[in-house]
Amino acid sequence: MAARSAPSCHLRFKWVYSYQGHQCHNNLYYTVATEIVYFVAGVGIVYSPREHGQKFYRGHSDDIIRYLPE
């Protein structure tokens, strides 16, 4: 019978195809290096148009949210 333990593998992001625009504001930024910084769920994304690539920052334990003021 096979062992019932979790496999020893890890998932990696290749690309994030989304943008969190609903109920948020001021959540898209440009860096001095003309990269675009934004977030989706609990992932911070830095997009480089020059390299057409993304870097991911996944240190959050919950969604990154900026609510609209009431």
pLDDT along the chain (70 residues), means of 10: 80 87 80 93 93 92 71
Q: What's the confidence (pLDDT) of residue 24?
A: 72
How many CB atoms within 10 Å of residue 45?
Answer: 19
Q: Is residue 58 part of a domain?
A: yes
Q: Is residue 32 part of a domain?
A: yes
Is the separation of the CB atoms in 14 and 54 below 8 Å?
no
Q: Is residue 38 part of a domain?
A: yes
Domain count, the chain: 1
Q: Is residue 59 part of a domain?
A: yes
Q: What's the confidence (pLDDT) of residue 49?
A: 95
**Both tokens assigned to 5:** 């333990």
Q: Is residue 35 part of a domain?
A: yes
Full-model pTM: 0.73
Q: What's the confidence (pLDDT) of residue 70?
A: 60
Q: Is residue 45 part of a domain?
A: yes
Q: Is residue 18 part of a domain?
A: yes
User: Residue 50 is part of which domain span?
Assistant: 12-70
Q: Is residue 2 part of a domain?
A: no
